[in-house]
Each structure stands twice: as structure tokens, then as C-alpha cells.
């Protein structure tokens, strides 16, 4: 159980690292310089890690990646809305 703390901390840091870009994208409504490809890869990454965690019954992985999925999706929605 104590080893799950590393996964929880890693997931938390990974999620928090995406918040500044999401906030800035929606606040400034400027997304021209954001790489669409990077955020599509982040979405794919989160989906695959979610699936891996779910199939292997690892709540640390699937919960963190389900939450983390919202942030690159939010940036992509901003990119579509504010090109």
C-alpha cells in the first residue's frame, strides 16, 4: 500500500503540470502557438494509461489518468473555440 504513494504523487504532479496551460488558454483566448499534435498525443496517452490501469485493476493509474484526461481535452476545446 505504501508504494501507491509514488503513483499518487506522480499522477498529482502530472495533472497539475497541465493546469497552467489550460487556464492561460481559456483566460487569454489565444491558442495559435499551442501544438495540436502534442495535446492529441496527451489525450491518447491518458486514454491508454487509463485503460491499462482499469484492466489491471490499478486504481492509482486509472483514476489519475481519468482526471488528467480533462486537461488536454480542455486545451483542445479551447484551441477549436479560439483558433
pTM: 0.83
Q: Where are the domains of the chain?
A: 7-81
7-81: CATH architecture:
Up-down Bundle (1.20)
51: pLDDT strictly greater than 70? yes
Cα 56 from Cα 45, distance rounded (Å): 16
CB 61 within 8 A of CB 10: no
Secondary structure in 3-state letters for 17-61: HHHHHHHHHHHHCCCCCCCHHHHHHHHHHHHHHHHHHHHCCCHHH
Tell me which of 36 and 59 has the higher pLDDT: 36
Could you tell me the pLDDT band of residue 27, with boundaries at 50, 70 and 90?
very high
Angle ∠(69,48,70) on CA atoms, nearest 5: 5
Amino acid at each position: 500500500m505504501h508504494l501507491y504513494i509514488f503513483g499518487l504523487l506522480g499522477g498529482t504532479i502530472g495533472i497539475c503540470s497541465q493546469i497552467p496551460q489550460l487556464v492561460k488558454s481559456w483566460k487569454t483566448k489565444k491558442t495559435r502557438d499551442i501544438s495540436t499534435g502534442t495535446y492529441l498525443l496527451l489525450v491518447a496517452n491518458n486514454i491508454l494509461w487509463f485503460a491499462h490501469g482499469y484492466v489491471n485493476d490499478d486504481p492509482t493509474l486509472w483514476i489519475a489518468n481519468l482526471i488528467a484526461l480533462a486537461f488536454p481535452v480542455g486545451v483542445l476545446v479551447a484551441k477549436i473555440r479560439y483558433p
